[in-house]
Amino acid sequence: MALKNYFYSFQVFTRSRESPKGNKAKGSNDALYVWGQTVLIKYNYKDVLTLKLSRKSMSFLSKDKYFILGGDELGELLIHHEQPYKFKQTQLFHYRNLVNLLEVFLRTCGISFVPLDFQADHFLENPFIKNIDSIASLEIINNTGFDLVAKSRDLLQNFLRYLGVSSVTFYADGKTLSTYQQLNVDGDDAKCWEIQEVIPWVDVALDKGKNYLVLNRELESEAGSMAYRREDGLWSPAADMQGESSVDFCSLRKRKLKFIDTGEFFSTQGINLSNFQAVKKSSKRANSDTASFLIYDHAQMKIDKDKLYQEAAPFTGGQYLENEDLIIAYLSGQNNVEQIGFFKERHNIKLSPEFQKVLIELGIKNWIKESIGDTKIGLPVALQSFSEQKFFAKASQSYQ
């Protein structure tokens, strides 16, 4: 068995007549909501077993033509467009099912392991690592295939300053490092791309004292931005880059900046996008793989467009624009962080989960970078309060 190509994916959802926020679907009293996680288990070429969890939610109306099968030990099944979704009411089932599948996977691969059962009686809804407090500066490298326009750069600068990043800069003024064009090649079913280096990748030098956020071009959902150059000069996405000499920009950087090889740690984190989108209504389905930087109306609280227009008017010349454009105009023109905070709360605007995750990871990497030079530097953790603290792990027998 080729372990690097072996993976297993399953979905576990809970279901209810109430939305996750407790709001009914507009125009319907019988909407069915399902939400949960998709889990991908993969053993890669570096001999690392990884679990990838992505949160998902869906809503179904009677017109969506779904049906539910009877329950068994695996739970009920909802079928929609021939796609099955498993149902169970508790996260305990989700955890146990995941552990069982993982153990089967390891035994199938002939990998010895020792199960370590972890139990807890509490969970955190919000991250306890306050990442952004420890990041004083951030440089953004754009490799999406499209230049970052001035309004996008200004919005990123102003909102990140509001979040606590005192210095936000853009490599090459936000110009894209590369251009991308997807091609269809006769007789080739795989996706392939023509990639041109606008700025030579080998010329991009990173400063180990900085933090970098890299906006990568999404080439394929499984491989993300990873790709190798073929003999015909075109690029094919691939999750396995072993043995390939010509690889994409981020894979090239990772190879050159390995801590084991260089003895230096570089604080970088990437996010895969098809293009940068500054603001999006949370209920609006994206037409691409782009994750927006900010979202609004995420709790189905309708924005007051008249108030939004009045606040944004000094930055729009009085133009009556769409909500997204009014928000972009205000946040790109307003450099008072206190006013940005008020504006954000009034209009229910939040940092998107995708970018929030990236900034948390950058904060942890920044702490690692700083602590290499000074072991006395602590990791800022928010104060937590629990009625009880019962966290323990117990090792059971080993398996071959």
Same domain, 185 and 213: yes
Rg over alpha carbons for the chain, rounded to the nearest Å, is 23
| 214: number of Cβ within 10 Å | 24
Q: Using pLDDT thresholds of 50, 70 and 90, give the confidence band for residue 396.
A: low
**Summary mean pLDDT of the chain:** 77
pLDDT digits (tens, 9 = 90+) for 97-123: 777 878 888 888 888 876 666 555 555
Q: Which of 120, 153, 179 is the last residue of a domain?
A: 120
Write out the residue range of the structural domain in which residue 68 sits: 3-120
pLDDT at 21 exceeding the cut of 50: no
Q: Which of 1, 97, 112 is nearest to 51 (CA)?
A: 97
d(CA 324, CA 85): 34
Neighbouring-strand partners of residue 299: none
Whether residues 193 and 98 fall in one domain: no
CA distance 329 to 323: 10
Mean per-residue pLDDT for 163-189? 89
Q: Measured between alpha carbons, how far is residue 295 from residues 59, 201, 262, 281, 349 in Å? A: 19, 32, 39, 6, 6
pLDDT number for residue 20: 47
Is 303 a member of any domain?
Answer: no
DSSP 173: G
Q: Within a 10 A sphere around the Cβ of 277, how many other Cβ atoms?
A: 17
Residues 194, 92 share a domain: no
Tens-digit pLDDT profile for residues 215-251: 999 998 778 899 999 988 999 998 878 888 899 999 9
Q: Lowest-confidence range among 176-190, 252-266, 373-387? A: 373-387
271: pLDDT strictly greater than 80: yes
CA–CA separation, 35 vs 47, rounded Å? 32
Is 340 in contact with 159 (CB distance < 8 Å)? yes
Q: Taking Cα atoms as reference points, which of 234, 235, 149 lies closest to residue 226?
A: 235
Res 261: pLDDT: 83
pLDDT in tens, 323-379: 999 999 999 999 999 999 999 999 989 999 889 889 888 988 888 888 887 777 766
Residues 166 and 54 in one domain: no
Would residue 159 count as lying in a domain?
Answer: yes
Domain final residue, candidates 96, 120, 144: 120
Of 95, 93, 96, 109, the C-alpha closest to 42 is 109
Amino acid at 204: V
- Give the separation between CA 79 and CA 59, rounded to whole angstroms: 13
Q: How many CA atoms lie within 13 A of 185 on its CB side?
A: 15
Q: Is residue 213 part of a domain?
A: yes
Question: Do 149 and 254 have their domain in common?
Answer: yes
Longest dimension (CA), the chain: 71
Q: State whether 110 and 144 are in the same domain.
A: no
DSSP-assigned states of every residue in 219-284? -BTTTBT-EEE-TTS-EEE-S--TT-SSB-HHHHHHHHT-HHHHS---EEEEEEESS-EEEEETTS
Q: Which of 230, 245, 274 represents a domain boundary (last residue)?
A: 274
Residue 398 tokens read as 């080993």
Residue 126 pLDDT level (bands cut at 50, 70, 90)? low
pLDDT at 334: 95
The pTM score is: 0.66
Same domain, 115 and 177: no
Q: Which residues contact 153 (CB under 8 A, 6 or more apart)?
A: 170, 173, 174
| Residues 110 and 215 grouped into a single domain | no
What distances in angstroms separate CA 78 from CA 39, 67, 71, 90, one per listed residue? 18, 6, 10, 17
Mean pLDDT of the 173-185 span:
92
12 occurs within a structural domain: yes
> Residue 154 above 90 pLDDT?
yes
**Percent helix, strand, coil in the chain (nearest 5)?**
30, 30, 40
- Distance, CA of 91 to chain centre: 22
Model pLDDT, residue 8: 33
Residues of the chain with pLDDT > 90, as a percent, come to 34
pLDDT at 248: 93
Look at residue 294 in the predicted model and tell me its pLDDT.
93
Looking at residue 175, its pLDDT comes to: 97
Above pLDDT 70, what percent of the chain? Answer: 61
- CA distance linking residue 254 with residue 245, whole number of Å: 13
Same domain, 55 and 103: yes
Torsion over CA of 309, 311, 313 and 314, rounded to 10 degrees?
-170
Asked if residue 89 and residue 27 are part of one domain, the reply reads yes
Tell me the average pLDDT across 285-304.
Answer: 73
- Nearest CA to 153 out of 293, 332, 323 is that of 332
How many separate domains does the chain show?
A: 2
Q: Does residue 140 share a domain with residue 270?
A: yes
Rounded to 5°, angle at Cα 311 from 310 and 317:
70
